[in-house]
Amino acid sequence: MKLPRSPSRRSFLGGLSVGAATLALASRSRAQVTAEPRKLGVALIGLGGYSQGQLGPALRLTQHCKLAGVVTGSREKGLLWAKEFGFPEKNIYNYDTMARMVDNPEIDIAYVVTPNSLHPQHAIAAAWAGKHVICEKPMANSVADCNAMLAACRVAGVKLSIGYRLHFEPQHQEMMRMARDPAVGPFRTMSGGLAFPIRRRVWRVEKKMAGGGPLMDVGIYCVQAACMAAGVGHGGDATIAITAREHPKTRPEFFLDVEEGLDWTMEFANGARAELMTSYEQGMDRFRAEGPKGWIEFAPAFAYGGLKVTTHRGPLNVPVPQSQQAVQIDDFARCVLDDKPTRVPGELGRRDMIIVEAIYKSAAARGQRIEVKV
Ligand code: NAD
């Protein structure tokens, strides 16, 4: 992992012990939060498809925060965003100047939305700049990088959250509730998949940038859903056994160093079992969790909206928010304002990377059963 080195970081941390730097950063964050009853400022790092299509629009709907800056390789794009969202041009940074956010009290939260391999360096640079961090999924390309991100945020005294929007989606929340409800749960069998065909060569099919193929990008949603349905958190007290098989490549010339698709099984300590799949060749978006006393089925399961959900009692009709992302980002802003833990912390992103690494390891060993503690 390439760690950011910048004059700002050196001048800010230079001469301070790690403990003193932590205190300085922590008290700075607290002072900003308590002294100014204002909407927190969010800076988006990376203005690609997800920022443009989802996060920018979501930040128009949030109550506790607003878009206050951007980090982008394109000054022109930054100027357009500044005009569109009404933040000053001084709040436009590029990837070399982003450490200077340390001097910008208008930015409280940095949201990392760059390709996966860049998440660690951007999240760590944001933490060193004293900003609370939301990092998109997957948290990083390895557990080791997740550890580095967690350590940096701990030392900097900032909060770290992962962009797991479905934890804030009422129908997924209902699945988690049903799993805990003795009248329904625990669920015993889960199944599902998230897959879509990729035809264009983009960073998502380069191992160096993406860390892997569809598992890193969309399969991780199935990992999340299975853990939600099994009631597994990130406390280090649960054991999951993984077996995985890579799909034979139908386009080996396209999927050079990443998988085209994967099937995998997750067996939980209570006997529950999840059969899951992901692919960049086929299409699928569904998830089902079933126990002896009830079931819930999603199709589509993981989209930004329009989920269709049925349970053993019939269609699930619960009000859903206009934007999953607005609820997710607002919740993190409230965690910062109230100094309380987020329900989607960096530790949850790290848990999923432990599982993802085991899936790849099992697939490489042609389906060897691998147990992990999460
Ligand atoms: P994208 O390719 O559309 O955008 C990536 C952005 O990163 C671009 O603006 C690009 O210019 C910038 N970038 C900076 N350095 C780069 C480099 N060296 N190479 C390539 N691009 C570079 O991707 P996206 O769809 O916006 O995805 C970004 C992140 O958000 C990914 O980690 C992805 O997994 C995540 N994501 C999450 C969701 C969700 O539902 N939570 C949805 C989509 C994407």
Tell me: the pLDDT tens digits for 298-337? 999 999 999 999 999 999 999 999 999 999 999 999 999 9
Angle at 161 between CA 239 and CA 319, to 5 degrees: 90
Ligand 1 pocket, residue 136 CB under 6 Å? yes
CATH superfamily of domain region 7-162: NAD(P)-binding Rossmann-like Domain (3.40.50.720)
Instruction: Quote the ligand 1 centre to 50 CA distance (angstroms).
Output: 7
CA distances to 28, 130, 139, 260, 269 from 112, in Å: 21, 14, 10, 26, 34
- Kindly report, as residue ranges, where domains of CATH 3.30.360.10 are found in the chain: 166-373
Query: Of the residues 113, 168, 222, which should be mutated to test ligand 1's pocket, given the most ligand atoms within 8 Å of the CB?
Result: 113
Nearest CA, atom 35, ligand 1: 136
Q: 166-373 has which CATH code?
A: 3.30.360.10
Q: Does the pLDDT of residue 30 top 50, yes or no?
A: no
Cβ proximity of 337 and 36 under 8 Å: no
Instruction: Give the pLDDT band (50/70/90) at residue 34.
Output: low
Ligand 1 pocket, residue 167 CB under 6 Å? no
Ligand 1 pocket, residue 137 CB under 6 Å? yes
- What's the predicted TM-score (pTM) here? 0.92
Which letter does DSSP use for residue 194 in this model?
A: E
Query: Pairing relation of β-strands 239-246 and 189-195?
Result: unpaired
Query: Tokens 């609820």, residue?
Result: 327
The edge-to-edge listing of strands for the beta sheet with 239-246 is 314-315, 309-311, 294-298, 284-291, 189-195, 273-279, 261-268, 239-246, 370-373
Ligand 1 pocket, residue 50 CB under 6 Å? yes
Distance between CA atoms of residues 215 and 254, nearest Å:
16
Ligand 1 pocket, residue 114 CB under 6 Å? yes
- Kindly report, as residue ranges, where domains of CATH 3.40.50.720 are found in the chain: 7-162
Nearest CA, atom 7, ligand 1: 114
Residues across the chain: 374
Picking from 212, 228, 367, 369, the residue whose alpha carbon sits closest to that of residue 279 is 212
pLDDT in tens, 141-172: 999 999 999 999 999 999 999 999 999 999 99
| 162 three-class SS | strand
Distance between CA atoms of residues 67 and 91, nearest Å:
10
